[in-house]
């Protein structure tokens, strides 16, 4: 409490106010002290990621009592200061001023007593006005687009519908003549101009809605309108009906696949899609619409092998919840999701706390010593069994990579994450557990699976190692870029990380299908592989899959990824 603002303190110093000098020196020394001690006090500074809390909530006091206490304290401090001024020889105020101050103090105390008599109501979040919701909606849409959560690819939709289409309503936004000429099997017709009038009666509030038109534009506009009207689970079919026909119903013989085995497999898949969407187009879908309970697809998901494979399911965790030595890390993107509801006993970890700018490279996972400090603040020890969960699989696998880096032996990712836990009717609560910081001792300080920029440059020309780029195809081809240069590492192969998941879920597809898909890329169990994306985040998901699910023996993870490669002008780029 200096009694000065920085600007007025400088003015005061010019007027030889020595208390202003003391204030400025204290401000500088305090800033230096805060900067140097930040790593020690960061959990306190961030409130242990507890989210926004009022002073009343922090002190566990009713709000009226806190308001009254502050009022009484203010009057008491005013009188104390008046008494100290008299002791210091300051001339007393005029009698009229003293009577006025006494009256104001009495009024304040009476008001404080009145506050205590007010009825206490439970704390509720502030309501969002229509204007606020309208302003926030475009930002929510942009976040969804950036996370690739706003669309579904044609092949994924085809697989979903061929598996029964449970929990999914497909809407054709074209005019009636175009719908009658051809439409995706099971789709209902709601022309775009009638969507607002017919959606309440025809579209369910539960489950997923997939919109399509000839291209993507009308679908995106309709999706935004439905989201604004209260439908939350809306997706747009990538490239519309034209993209669906091109990707799903165009014979492979018109493609560019040269490998006979791959061509044969694609021909079989094409024949199945043609039979379903063209030959049986007039038949109803085998499963009627019903609300989604687990994921939007009934496509088979991988069955986790257990703790030894570092991947467990909700049933495994339910059977061990509350066991001593079991620690849960909730790594969902928003801490408010954690504070609202989480698995009992879980501690929140923001994944950005395990990354920093190192050697000038942003978003780099911390070295083992720094990770050990972070894990210690969470109350972890090297002997704990740690289960990590999120609503995005790649968030959980990034933390799993960090646990591997410090040599943690007993850890696992919850397959299916938070949605799978809810689907299994697992218990939840909003209690924030008391965390006692621990002295986490890493079992190793250097890992053997992280590839450096030099490692990747060497491997790209050794003729043995497969460089696997898991970014979306447009980034791999150089059509889009967020970095200094567009394209890919020469010789790298591409498979987008999201293709490995059951659509709209945090679960991998069955291992046999994934193993076949990677074998098509030349990746077998004995193939040396280096995985990268743009920053290493998405690549952690594919790295975990190849190593712990598919059993590829030599897999390395390029943390710097395309961000590092594109920033080095001397390295070649292919497009």
Among the candidates 264, 279, 294, a domain finishes at 279
The answer to whether residue 431 is domain-embedded is no
Residues 321 and 361 in one domain: yes
**Which of 5, 81, 248, 533 is the catalytic position?**
533
Among the candidates 117, 151, 170, a domain finishes at 117
CA 384 to chain CA mean position, Å: 25
Structure tokens, 525: 């169990």
The answer to whether residue 296 is domain-embedded is no
pLDDT along the chain (575 residues), means of 10: 75 85 89 84 63 67 82 86 84 82 83 73 43 45 52 88 80 91 91 91 85 89 88 88 86 55 66 80 45 38 83 95 94 94 96 95 95 96 97 97 96 95 93 94 91 96 96 94 93 94 87 91 95 97 96 96 95 95
d(CA 393, CA 267): 31
What is residue 515's three-state secondary structure? helix
Residues 406 and 322 in one domain: yes
The answer to whether residue 294 is domain-embedded is no
The answer to whether residue 359 is domain-embedded is yes
The answer to whether residue 574 is domain-embedded is no
What lies within 8 Å, CB to CB, of 103 at 6+ separation is none
Residues 71 and 38 in one domain: no
356 bridge partner residues: 364
Residues 545 and 461 in one domain: yes
Residues 158 and 219 in one domain: yes
pLDDT of residue 228: 86
Contact predicate 344/381, CB 8 Å = no
What is residue 61's three-state secondary structure? coil
Residues 222 and 263 in one domain: yes
The answer to whether residue 418 is domain-embedded is yes
Structure tokens, 311: 């991947």
Q: What ranges make up the beta strands (E) of 33-163?
A: 151-152
Alpha carbon distances (Å) from 359 to 330, 363, 568: 29, 11, 13
Burial 443-462 (b: 16+ CB within 10 A, else e): eeeebebbbebeebbebbee
* Total structural domains within the chain: 5
CB neighbourhood size of 143 (10 A): 12
pLDDT of residue 129: 42
* CATH code of the domain covering residue 227: 3.40.250.10
pLDDT of residue 130: 42
What lies within 8 Å, CB to CB, of 437 at 6+ separation is 43, 376, 377, 379
pLDDT of residue 16: 85
Residues 173 and 222 in one domain: yes
Residues 157 and 198 in one domain: yes
Residues 88 and 182 in one domain: no
**Pairing relationship of beta strands 355-358 and 361-365 according to DSSP bridges:** antiparallel
The answer to pTM > 0.75 is no
The answer to whether residue 122 is domain-embedded is no
Residues 252 and 218 in one domain: yes
Residues 230 and 274 in one domain: yes
Residues 177 and 231 in one domain: yes
| Residue 33 lies in domain | 1-45
pLDDT of residue 442: 94
Instruction: Specify whether 5 is catalytic.
Output: no
Among the candidates 88, 117, 146, a domain finishes at 117
The answer to whether residue 169 is domain-embedded is yes
pLDDT of residue 474: 92
Q: Could you give the strand order of the β-sheet that contains 450-451, starting from the edge strand earlier in sequence?
A: 450-451, 555-558, 529-532, 466-469, 493-494
Place of tokens 């299994």: 424
d(CA 479, CA 462): 27
Closest CA to 358 of 543, 559, 541: 559
pLDDT of residue 289: 34
Q: What is the DSSP string of 436-483?
A: -------S-SS-SSEEPHHHHHHHTTSSS-EEEE-S-HHHHTTSS-SS
d(CA 323, CA 385): 10
């Amino acid at each position: 409490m200096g009694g000065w603002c920085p600007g007025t303190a400088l003015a005061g110093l010019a007027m030889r106010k020595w208390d202003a000098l003391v204030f400025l020196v204290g401000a500088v020394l305090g800033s230096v002290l805060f900067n140097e001690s930040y790593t020690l006090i960061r959990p306190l500074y961030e409130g242990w990621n507890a989210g926004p809390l009022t002073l009343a909530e922090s002190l566990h006091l009713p709000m009226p009592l806190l308001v009254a206490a502050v009022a009484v304290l203010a009057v008491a401090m005013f009188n104390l200061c008046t008494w100290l001024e008299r002791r210091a020889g300051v001339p007393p105020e005029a009698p009229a001023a003293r009577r006025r101050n006494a009256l104001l103090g009495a009024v304040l105390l009476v008001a404080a007593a009145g506050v205590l008599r007010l009825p206490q109501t439970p704390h509720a979040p502030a309501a969002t006005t229509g204007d606020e919701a309208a302003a926030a909606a475009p930002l929510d849409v942009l976040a969804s687009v950036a996370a690739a959560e706003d669309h579904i690819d044609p092949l994924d939709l085809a697989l979903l519908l061929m598996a029964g289409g449970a929990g999914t309503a497909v809407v054709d936004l074209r005019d009636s003549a175009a719908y009658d000429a051809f439409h995706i099997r099971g789709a209902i017709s709601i022309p775009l101009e009638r969507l607002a009038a017919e959606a309440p009666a025809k579209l369910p509030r539960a489950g997923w809605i997939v919109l399509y038109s000839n291209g993507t534009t009308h679908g995106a506009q309709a999706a935004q309108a439905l989201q604004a009207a209260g439908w939350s689970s809306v997706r747009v079919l990538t490239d519309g009906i034209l993209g669906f026909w091109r990707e799903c119903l165009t014979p492979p013989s018109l493609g560019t696949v040269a490998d006979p085995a791959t061509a044969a497999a694609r021909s079989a898949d094409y024949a199945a899609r043609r039979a379903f969407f063209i030959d049986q187009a007039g038949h109803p879908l085998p499963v009627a619409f019903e609300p989604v309970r687990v994921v939007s697809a009934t496509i088979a998901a991988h069955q986790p092998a257990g703790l030894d494979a570092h991947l467990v399911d909700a049933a495994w965790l339910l059977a061990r919840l509350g066991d001593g030595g079991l620690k849960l890390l909730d790594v969902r993107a928003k801490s408010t999701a954690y504070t609202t509801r989480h698995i009992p006993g879980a501690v929140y970890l923001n994944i950005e706390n395990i990354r920093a700018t190192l050697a000038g490279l942003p978003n780099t996972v911390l070295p083992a010593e720094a990770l050990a400090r972070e894990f210690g603040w969470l109350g972890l020890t090297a002997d704990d069994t740690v289960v990590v969960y999120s609503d995005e699989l790649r968030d959980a696998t990034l933390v799993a990579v960090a646990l591997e880096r410090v040599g943690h032996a007993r850890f696992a990712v919850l397959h299916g994450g938070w949605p799978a836990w809810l689907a299994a009717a697992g218990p939840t609560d909003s209690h924030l557990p008391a965390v006692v910081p621990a002295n986490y001792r890493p079992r190793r300080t250097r890992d053997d699976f992280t590839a450096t920029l030099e490692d990747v440059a060497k491997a790209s020309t050794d003729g043995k190692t497969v460089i696997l780029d898991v970014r979306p195809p447009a980034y791999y081809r150089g059509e889009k870029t967020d970095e200094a240069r567009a394209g890919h590492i020469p010789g790298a192969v591409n498979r987008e990380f999201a293709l490995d998941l059951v659509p709209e879920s945090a679960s991998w597809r069955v291992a046999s299908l994934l193993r076949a898909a990677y074998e098509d890329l030349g990746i077998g169990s004995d193939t040396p592989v280096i995985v990268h994306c743009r920053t290493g985040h998405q690549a952690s998901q594919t790295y975990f899959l190849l190593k712990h699910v598919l059993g590829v023996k030599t897999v390395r993870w390029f943390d710097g990824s395309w961000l590092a490669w594109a920033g080095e002008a001397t390295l070649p780029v292919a497009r």
